[in-house]
Amino acid sequence: MARIVQKYGGTSVGDVDRIKNVAARIKAFRDEGNQLVVVVSARSGVTNELIARAKAIHPNPPEREMDQLLSIGEQETIALTAMALEAIGVEAVSYTGAQAGIFTDKAHTKAKIKTIDARPLEKDLSAGKVIIVAGFQGINDDGHITTLGRGGSDLTAIALAAAIKADKCEIYTDVDGVYTADPRVVKNARKLDEISYDEMLELASAGSKVMQSRSVEFAAKYDVVFEVRSSFNNNPGTIVKQE
Ligand code: ADP
Ligand code: ASP
Ligand code: MG
């Protein structure tokens, strides 16, 4: 039995069928007896749509209200993913960032995680439930919802893996792993079996980003080894770790 944190990005939970596909994948890991904490993003496009709507109402919307708004994208997918699991006989419970004990500073729209109180989560894990956590969001000391910057669900997953001392952290996305360049742009880009945190940050600063840079920095700081892989097949992905 292993303790696994998985993260499924926006395309992977992009519609009802994909959410069902993710639930089936999670069930397979659960059936092997693993403990699972699963972070999900908003459906792809939802966060951008919400931003566009806000800007159509206010040219420079208050950041607190932006966070209040943007957090709903992930709140939809956690509930639907938990329901998809229950529908196939897997006990699951959804958690917002606040419910998962993710405490941040007060920097709305780009908050930093300060601490994670994993006690509620640990309790449900021990009870055998699969826990579905909303990526990209936390709560500050005043009780206001914050968000962690675009792509922030990656950070939620890495930080939770560190907090609960996961044996494995898997970042599921819509490509097979980390490539030498963006495979959608560079046709002969090559998939890497392994890459260091520094090399991954270099790729990002050269414009080729598969994960939020802050999440990679966080992983480097807390030595969280993770694998980037596809939610659409079973190909091995890319292991990211210290050199
Ligand atoms: P998710 O919604 O799962 O978080 P993202 O869209 O944020 O996924 O990141 C995955 C995308 O990153 C891929 O579809 C790919 O086009 C892009 N990408 C950019 N650079 C790279 C790279 N070096 N290796 C792999 N994917 C890359
Ligand atoms: N939904 C957020 C975004 O689009 C966070 C994420 O997908 O990681 O930036
Ligand atoms: Mg992303």
Pocket test for ligand 1, best of 210, 228, 230, 232 (most atoms within 8 A of CB): 210
Q: For the whole model, what pTM was predicted? A: 0.98
Q: Is the CB of 97 under 6 A from ligand 2?
A: no
Ligand nearest to the CA of 202: 1
Contact assessment for residue 82 and residue 93, using Cβ atoms and an 8 Å cutoff: yes
The SS3 assignment for 1 reads coil
Ligand 2 atom 1: residue of nearest CA: 42
Contact assessment for residue 7 and residue 157, using Cβ atoms and an 8 Å cutoff: yes
- Helix (H) / strand (E) containing 230: strand 226-230
pLDDT tens digit string along 109-143?
Answer: 999 999 999 999 999 999 999 999 999 999 999 99
Ligand nearest to the CA of 183: 1
- Mean pLDDT computed over every residue of the chain: 97
Ligand 1 centroid from CA 154, angstroms:
12
- Burial of residue 223 (number of CB atoms within 10 Å: 0-12, 13-18, 19+): exposed
Closest CA relative to residue 134, chosen from 57, 38, 36: 38
Q: Is the CB of 151 under 6 A from ligand 2?
A: yes
pLDDT tens digit string along 199-226?
Answer: 999 999 999 999 999 999 999 999 999 9
